């Protein structure tokens, strides 16, 4: 709960609040959309609370405010205009997760979902959002072992380091040599592929760790 102590020897409690656990981490792709999870227990007789979504590092930090059954726009940060919404069909279940569309790299950071009840009690959920580009997400997918094909396309079209770029051109040069041994070509290809995976793994660790 939140209380304030005064030097005169008495305590004034303006409101009660609780924070739910450690921040939940969510990964999004720039240009797409993402849903930041937040919910509460609700019954048929429950009063639906005021829901305030805010972002920690913004000067005007409110990005979505739901009050008395509809969104309130007056205090909304202009950077999130027309980009944030709740999922209407899930509200009756106490799900007030926030949908952010057209995700920007600048959207990365810590978000807070606050439910404010009539008795001044506040429930707070904190969500940490990380935003990556398509190439970074492809590398991440490959490191988890999900797809060798994705990694191969990534290496051919988006070289991830100078060493890989050098071997890529060497690979193309060998293809142009007439009567080049297929057996040797196969081993060169495997070698280049291994170098590429190493480069991708290093760049992935740099981004996600």
pLDDT in tens, 191-207: 666 666 666 555 444 33
Model confidence pLDDT, tens digit, residues 119-143: 778 889 999 999 988 655 444 443 4
pLDDT digits (tens, 9 = 90+) for 156-174: 444 445 555 565 566 556 6
Question: Checking DSSP bridges between strand 84-86 and strand 50-55, what pairing results, if any?
Answer: unpaired
Q: Is there a single domain that holds both residue 69 and residue 125?
A: yes
Average pLDDT of the chain? 72
Number of domains observed in the structure of the chain? 2
Q: Which of 36-45, 54-63, 192-201 has the highest mean pLDDT?
A: 54-63
The 10 Å CB-count burial string (b at 16+, else e) for 81-92 is eebbebeeeebe
- Cβ proximity of 103 and 40 under 8 Å: no
Domain boundaries, position 112:
17-132
What are φ and ψ of residue 143, in 5° steps? -65, -30
Residues 143 and 107 in one domain: no
- CATH number, domain with residue 70: 2.60.40.10
Asked if the model's pLDDT at residue 64 lies above 70, the reply is: yes
Global pTM value: 0.57
Element at 133 (helix H, strand E): none
């Amino acid at each position: 709960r939140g209380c304030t102590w005064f030097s005169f020897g008495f305590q004034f409690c303006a409101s009660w609040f609780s924070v739910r656990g450690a921040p939940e981490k969510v990964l999004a792709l720039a240009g797409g959309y993402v849903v930041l999870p937040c919910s509460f227990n609700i019954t048929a007789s429950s009063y639906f609370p005021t829901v305030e979504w805010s972002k920690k590092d913004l000067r005007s930090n409110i990005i979505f405010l739901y009050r008395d059954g509809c969104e309130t726009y007056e205090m909304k940060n202009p950077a999130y205009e027309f980009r944030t919404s709740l999922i209407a069909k899930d509200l009756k279940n106490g799900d007030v997760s926030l949908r952010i569309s057209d995700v920007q790299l600048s959207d990365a950071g810590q978000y807070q979902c606050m439910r404010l009840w009539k008795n001044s009690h506040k429930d707070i959920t904190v969500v940490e959002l990380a935003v990556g580009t398509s190439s970074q997400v492809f590398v991440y997918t490959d490191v988890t072992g999900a797809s060798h094909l994705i990694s191969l396309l990534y290496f051919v079209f988006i070289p991830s380091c100078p060493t890989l770029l050098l071997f890529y051109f060497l690979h193309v040069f060998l293809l142009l040599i007439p009567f080049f041994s297929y057996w040797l070509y196969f081993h060169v290809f495997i070698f280049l592929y291994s170098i590429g995976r190493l480069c991708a793994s290093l760049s992935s660790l740099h981004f996600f760790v």
